[in-house]
Amino acid sequence: MLTDAEAWMRPAAFVLVLALLAAAEVLRPRRTRTLPRRRRWPANLGILAIDAALLRLLLPAAAIGAAVAAERHGFGLLNATALPAWIAVPVAVVALDLVIWAQHVLFHRIPVLWRLHRVHHADRDLDVTTGLRFHPLEILASMAIKMAAVALLGAPAAAVVLFELLLNAAAMFNHANLALPAGLDRRLRRFLVTPDMHRVHHSVHRDETDRNFGFALSWWDRVFGTYRDRPRDGHAGMAIGTPGFDGPSEERLDRMLTQPFRQPVSIAGGRTLH
């Protein structure tokens, strides 16, 4: 039943959040675009479609299937402790968010994984669709990690559905080109990753790229010492993207798919971000 519910809940939530944030970006943009939406969105949404098709083909049950299997066989920490659902569900959601944070760090630290992840960072205009722009091989690796975490944790299937909805919405929200009032941003940051907080992570400066790894909950970067309040060049003036993969042609879908297998092009002074 949960699998059937997720089949319509996730697409419905995705369309609603995407539409609301896209409209909000028009009304309250944080930065001036370097490229119009019509140049970027087809490829960003195209790679999302490929990701979704691959997951459906190769891992049809995905994380919910792992949760159902773990519960059926009594496998995993939470299944062994027999906690009531009102405790197990929020514990699982928070634990899975920590796993995603740690996974994100690994994709920056391990060179072969960074080659996949830099497709996401190569977007020169951060907006709601950047939160959907991930190489298919990264998506498959990420789902494998998530399924293992769900099984080992013994996360309830309801928690997995809730977490997937939260993660997808949070990824679109914190990548949005959206100017929040300073006071609201400050209050939200106590719990959630805001667009201004996450934008630091997309700086061309590597010491800023390796900060603010969170997607949903903002706690982990403070706990583990990877939090940075703002970019050194300011939000309006900072450069976003991956040096060496920042030409307009890199916004094409075919270039995104082949980017992990190509070397960055040197820019002025020979500086690249590998």
From first to last of its 274 residues, the chain has per-residue pLDDT tens of 665 667 788 899 999 999 999 999 999 999 999 999 999 999 999 999 999 999 999 988 789 999 999 999 999 999 999 889 999 999 999 999 999 999 999 999 999 999 999 999 999 999 999 999 999 999 999 999 999 999 999 999 999 999 999 999 999 999 999 999 999 999 999 999 999 999 999 999 999 999 999 999 999 999 999 999 999 999 999 999 999 998 889 999 999 999 999 998 865 444 444 4
User: Is residue 192 domain-resident?
Assistant: yes
User: Is residue 19 domain-resident?
Assistant: yes
Query: What region, left, alpha or beta, does residue 76 occupy, with left being phi > 0 and alpha being psi -120 to 50 degrees?
Result: left
Q: Which domain holds residue 190?
A: 2-262
**Buried b / exposed e along 202-234 (16+ C-beta atoms within 10 A):** bbbbeebbebbbbbbbbbbbeeeebbbeebeee
Cα separation, 217 vs 56, in Å, equals 27
User: Is residue 269 domain-resident?
Assistant: no
Cα separation, 207 vs 14, in Å, equals 32
User: Is residue 270 domain-resident?
Assistant: no
Domain total of the chain: 1
User: Is residue 65 domain-resident?
Assistant: yes
- Length reported for the chain: 274
User: Is residue 248 domain-resident?
Assistant: yes
Whether the full predicted model's pTM is greater than 0.75, yes or no, is yes
User: Is residue 187 domain-resident?
Assistant: yes
